[in-house]
A = this chain, B = another copy of it.
């Protein structure tokens, strides 16, 4: 890869930029553990909540059904309802306002400690765009709270396609007025990078061993063929000369 050709960094967000497991577990524990006195495995709860967004290819299928993408905020309400049921939490445990608060815990995820320092350096030279399954309102709230310096939010709600469909990457690249080879996809998930590479984007793997606190054999290290493998976002800034 020639860094000089890169004009934009297209970012996966959940896991790559922010700690979804820690944030969901924190808010679930605060509400269900603290106020409601329940004792659950909060990490397992967070992982189950997240996994539901993948189940039965739900965003993909939902997008196909609706032609335009379904909002993550709406999917997350369904996913929370099912997760609460799975963990044996009675449906009248939460008030409507409490349910809404926990369903939108995704708006309140914290960046990994290196994310903002690294991205702030990277932004001096490169356009930073979020290419995520999160909807605009969610990603705007998360960015304002955590100080994420996006130039553009080009997520599924904007492009009309969920990753790993090629259109999700290619529409974002096109909206930036660039060629795929001028964009570096940054993600902690090899499947995301593989799909981006198949569209002609360059790829950077960022290792996030704490992402789901399980044996992440698939994403423990960069798959062969990735252009860059880095330890964190500051490391990426160093490697790209920022």
Please list the residues of chain A having a beta carbon within 8 angstroms of any beta carbon in chain B.
73, 127, 135-138, 140, 143-144, 151-154, 157-158, 175-178
Contact = CB atoms under 8 A, between A and B. Distances in A.
Contacts of A176: 136-137, 140
B175 A154 contact: no
Contacts of A157: 175
A128 to B, nearest CB: 10
Contacts of A127: 140, 144
Given A127-B140, A136-B152, A138-B177, 14 more contacts: A73-B177, A127-B144, A135-B175, A135-B177, A136-B176, A137-B176, A137-B178, A140-B152, A140-B176, A143-B151, A152-B153, A153-B153, A158-B158, A158-B175
A151 B140 contact: yes
Contacts of A152: 136, 140, 153
A110 to B, nearest CB: 18
Contacts of A137: 175-178
Nearest to A68: B160
Contacts of A175: 135-137, 157-158
A151 B158 contact: no
Which 10 A-B pairs give the minimum distances between C-beta atoms?
Answer: A137-B177, A136-B175, A140-B151, A158-B158, A140-B152, A137-B176, A152-B153, A136-B152, A127-B140, A157-B175
Nearest to A136: B175
A119 to B, nearest CB: 14
A177 B135 CA distance: 9
A105 to B, nearest CB: 15
A70 to B, nearest CB: 13
A175 B160 CA distance: 13
A135 B174 CA distance: 11
Contacts of A140: 127, 151-152, 176
A153 B130 CA distance: 12
9 contacts: A127-B140, A135-B177, A136-B152, A136-B154, A136-B175, A136-B176, A136-B177, A140-B176, A152-B153
